[in-house]
Structure 1
């Protein structure tokens, strides 16, 4: 279970908090290879602030100013996100021997460059995939399209993490996708280290069980 890739059914569904909880639960490494937009801070900074010293947080490989798809943000800066550099860095981080929790941006079909998507990266990393979903109008469609893309690509999916307010359609998404529920992370009354530690402890047994399969 060396590489664990955290994706979402879209933007703003709770990937970063989920990634922090997974990294904390596994005493893992955390890495977001591409950050696009950092005026309000970065996901790396958020995870570092929310996790204990047992989680090693690595710096991004690409920090792009524009809050947009990485291929557009890179284009605006006159550069190109190179998948080979990301894969090489991932191999270097794997040498530490602990699980590496890798957070994507947006969803699976967000492009890193003109012909390479986060779906391709997850496959090249041979990663176990965790999908983060949140309930909103249209989320069933987005969830099932994500599941369809993962299954079509033959990726190894560990399961779902739902975030935010509970809705009964979570059970439907799990049943229709045939991917198991790992946990659900409620909306935090106060988002801090204590909250992440509590959620990490709650998810740890199920997460370890599913990753061992």
Structure 2
């Protein structure tokens, strides 16, 4: 079973929100291997507080860095060396029959070390990617650049999940990128368990497709 890796077209795109929705919709497990910055709580804590089902397991981070910065900067500031081998080793110890959702840090080219990027982690984990695109002015360019990088580097993409409301061009991103839309998440005024459960129920309509992507 391939894990599903949640990446975005940039930072503050809604990866954690989408991760919570998919964790709830699929009763999946959740894992964020690298957390950089946690003054307001970790992403794992956020997801745990938003889901309602009793099956999902939130797995602990391999690296929990205090500095809210790119992982390679946070690790350097805290005299930590991020190792893909350590993350892969932790992954092999996760035993679950459910889909596993892995949340990345920022986008594909966020550096983890002086030489390695999030895209290298995706390949090391042999994961299948869902790209989160938040609708805003400029997101078409950022979305298509992300898609182009995936295609030119052999990254396995399941499709898009669009987040927030801004004009109407999701179908064009789908057409131009060649990757399907797996769903859209409207702008949510209140992000809580009830609204996560309601929006996750809509994503359950495509849970068969998502589970197929995960190899279930």
Using structure 2 for the length normalisation, give the TM-score. 0.94
Asked if 2 retains the 8 angstrom alpha-carbon contact of 1:44 and 1:57, the reply is yes
Q: Partners in 2 of 1:198 and 1:91 — Cα distance?
A: 33
CA distance in structure 2 between the aligned counterparts of 1:26 and 1:32, rounded to whole angstroms: 17
Query: How many residues are matched?
Result: 212
Correspondence 1:68 to 2:69: yes
Query: SS of the counterpart of 2:137?
Result: coil
Give the equivalent residue in structure 2 for 1:162. 162
Query: Shift in Å at residue 147 of structure 1?
Result: 0.3
Structure 1: tracts of 5 or more residues without a match: none
- CA–CA distance in 2 between the matches of 1:42 and 1:202? 26
For 1:204 and 1:164, the matched residues in 2 are separated by 19
Give the match's secondary structure for 1:112: coil
After superposition, residues 1-213 of structure 1 pair within 5 angstroms as 1-52=1-52, 53-93=54-94, 95-212=95-212
Q: TM-score, normalised by structure 1?
A: 0.95
Alignment deviations for residues 17-62 of structure 1 (CA, whole Å, 9 cap, x no partner) = 1011111111111000111011111111100000122221112111
Deviates more, 1:187-196 or 1:64-73: 187-196
Structure 2 regions of 5+ residues with no counterpart? Answer: none
Q: 1:166 to 1:55 in 2, by over 3 A?
A: farther
8 A contact 2:84–2:124 mirrored in 1: no
CA RMSD, aligned part only?
A: 1.3
1:24 and 1:54 in contact (8 A); partners too:
no
